[in-house]
Amino acid sequence: MRLLLSLCGASAFLLAAGPVPRPEYPQPQFQRDQWVSLNGPWEFDFDDQDAGVRDHWADGARKLAKSILVPFCFESANSGIGDTGFHRVVWYRRALDIPAAWKGRRVLLHFGAVDYRAMVWLNGKLLGSHQGGSVPFRFDITGQLQGGANTLVVRAEDPPTDRYIPRGKQYWESQSRGIFYTRTSGIWQSVWLEAAGDSYLDGVRITPSADGSVRFAARVARPLAGATLRVTISHNGKPVTSTEASAEDVRAVAMAAVPDPRLWNVNQPNLYDVLFELRRAGQVQDKVQSYFGFRTVTVENGRMFLNGRPVYLKLVLDQGYWPDSILTPPSDEAIQSDIRAAKEMGFNGARKHQKVEDPRYLYWADRLGFLVSGETANAYLFDEEYASAFTRDWMEAVERDYNHPSIVIWAPLNESWGTPNLRDPAQQNHLRALYALTKSLDSTRPVIDNEGWEHTDMTDLFAFHDYARTGELLFDKYKNLGQTGARVPDNARAALIPGYRYNGSPFYLSEFGGIAFIPPGHQVPKESWGYSGVEKTAEDALLRLGGLYRAIARIPAITGICYTQLTDVEQEVNGLLTYGRKPKFDPKKIRELNDLLR
């Protein structure tokens, strides 16, 4: 079977043997008809001496010694390399052939994510660079293209032991241990080309309201005099309404009203399709497909509300790791399977832990009706350079995912990671600033200032983590939670930073459980462990899990939970599924426990 270099809406190109990995459109929130996947075999090499720039690897003439399957990182088995050693600098190279039908169009080169720093050359000329391992970037390469074959070269740098850069659960030592796992370096999300107009849309922020009004704030690249933005909204394939606004400047804002809007919810994930067209003199300059959902998320009187009705968060912690592809989902089907498995067990959402998830995951959460608490990879140590880099990463993550109705919470920091000493005024100001910054970027969602402990008075949800072994211990600790005069219990660290008081926000048990169980005959690493101990039988594990759930159901102040966790990850075996996604328990029994919480 030949590898098809997919060209959506047109004929395909032949490149090499084997199927294209991750062939679906990478960003369904902003999709053009004419596009080409660059996933598949690339030339690749390690540059352990960091000599590539000096020795002119960027000019594209030097053939690289290895081959790698993009978008999988070199540490993964799926990449064809599977080298988990320390390699700070790596290089990629491949040829580009631009479809003849794209003549006269702008050509955009997209990278879903490259961890951690990237430099990109086309035909020996530097297109630019990007820093931030979790967020996308792109280049308009029209002016650098030449007739016939073109050569694309990427240099990626990911300092494997630097704890000041946002790395999430990627371990800075040679072998995975504890709660830390195999690293992901270089290209780890899809790469693609697409054709746009001479003037084109650079992004559209969609802000719907429950009354049916919706605001479209577009960014326009290379704006033209006399241009307009036309917006057409459809539902189930039928046009609902359209609107138009001037697009002669770099910003264009259009307003529309949808009569009797069908709201997006967990059990009814109603979505509206939207077509954006940049027009000038009757000609379409650029065309992009997107979608959105009408839904509101508010916090009132110690509860969280979805569309004006109380919602009990029943989330599951999802690290988003896979055995053979690490942080990169191995397939679109694998993404859907994880969400469906969680829903089958009665969870209504996931806390995507220490990861800006693949856009296709959020697309399926939108489509299937699944709530998401959005995070990003944190660093572990603090200095001014970290604060600047992390803030930039977080701003780009919020911008990328703002339009997804499934995201109902933002949580920039977990357990004081990156701010290990919150008695330090600089670190405390960084924590508070991230909350305020997030609210300035997105006023439509609640924000958690610090997931787990050491809260300020600026959090919208009071998230706390507790791995009590039994329900009796959990109930005894939190039975007075929320009562007048009752103190919020501390856990591994203080619940509040000294000098701050509880602000009345809803109590959200955002990590608990962690019960390890290894099914008979299932092979796991020798150092496997769980947060609250290992049970020998499925019956014993379920008995203890049931005790925790029944205790939570008796604590009315708790208005949401997140169980640790959906799947095992490497040596951490407290998943409800194995690392290979095999259920450890009858899903109906987990659902029955989730049904206790209302």
Q: What is the pLDDT of residue 148?
A: 83
The three-class DSSP label of residue 367 is helix
User: What average pLDDT does the segment 17-45 reach?
Assistant: 94
Q: What is the pLDDT of residue 16?
A: 45
pLDDT in tens, 422-442: 999 999 999 999 999 999 999
Length of the chain, in residues: 598
C-alpha 499/C-alpha 412 separation (Å) is 22
C-alpha 24/C-alpha 8 separation (Å) is 9
Pick the CATH number of 297-594 from 3.30.70.100, 3.40.50.720, 3.30.9.10, 3.20.20.80: 3.20.20.80
Q: What is the pLDDT of residue 393?
A: 96
CB 264: neighbour CB atoms within 10 A? Answer: 22
Q: What is the pLDDT of residue 496?
A: 97
Q: What is the pLDDT of residue 4?
A: 37
Q: What is the pLDDT of residue 14?
A: 34
Residue 560 has pLDDT above 60, yes or no: yes
Residues β-bridged to residue 207:
215
pLDDT in tens, 502-516: 999 999 999 999 999
Residue 2 has pLDDT above 50, yes or no: no
Residue 57 has pLDDT above 70, yes or no: yes
Whole-number Cα distances in Å, 459 to 307, 436, 505, 514: 21, 10, 7, 25
DSSP state of 529: B
Residues β-bridged to residue 303:
300
Whole-number Cα distances in Å, 253 to 202, 221, 396: 13, 14, 21
pLDDT in tens, 481-504: 999 989 999 998 999 999 999 999
Residue 462 has pLDDT above 60, yes or no: yes
Is cis: bond before 354, omega within 30 of 0?
Answer: no
Q: What is the pLDDT of residue 5?
A: 39
User: What average pLDDT does the segment 157-164 reach?
Assistant: 96
C-alpha 471/C-alpha 481 separation (Å) is 15
User: What average pLDDT does the segment 557-585 reach?
Assistant: 97
Higher pLDDT, 307 or 2: 307
Q: What is the pLDDT of residue 220?
A: 98
Q: What is the pLDDT of residue 455?
A: 98
The three-class DSSP label of residue 320 is coil
pLDDT in tens, 285-314: 999 999 999 999 999 999 999 999 999 999
Q: What is the pLDDT of residue 9?
A: 35
pLDDT band at 533 (very low <50, low <70, confident <90, very high): confident
pLDDT in tens, 129-148: 999 999 999 999 999 999 88
pLDDT in tens, 44-53: 999 999 999 9
Which residues of the chain does CATH 2.60.120.260 include? 40-189
User: What average pLDDT does the segment 273-287 reach?
Assistant: 96
The topology under which CATH files domain 200-208+211-292 is Immunoglobulin-like (2.60.40)
DSSP letter string, 20-34: PSS-S-S-TTSB-SS
User: What average pLDDT does the segment 412-431 reach?
Assistant: 97
CATH level 2 (architecture), domain 40-189: Sandwich (2.60)
Residue 1 has pLDDT above 60, yes or no: no
Which residues of the chain does CATH 2.60.40.10 include? 200-208+211-292
Average pLDDT of every residue of the chain = 95
Residue 76 has pLDDT above 70, yes or no: yes
pLDDT band at 19 (very low <50, low <70, confident <90, very high): confident
User: What average pLDDT does the segment 320-343 reach?
Assistant: 98
C-alpha 409/C-alpha 503 separation (Å) is 18
C-alpha 340/C-alpha 332 separation (Å) is 13
Residue 6 has pLDDT above 80, yes or no: no
Q: Residues of the chain with pLDDT > 90: what percent? A: 93
CB 305 within 8 A of CB 299: yes
pTM assigned to the model = 0.95
Q: Residue 320's closest CA among 334, 308, 299?
A: 334
Which residues of the chain does CATH 3.20.20.80 include? 297-594
Is cis: bond before 223, omega within 30 of 0?
Answer: no
Is cis: bond before 380, omega within 30 of 0?
Answer: no
pLDDT band at 11 (very low <50, low <70, confident <90, very high): very low
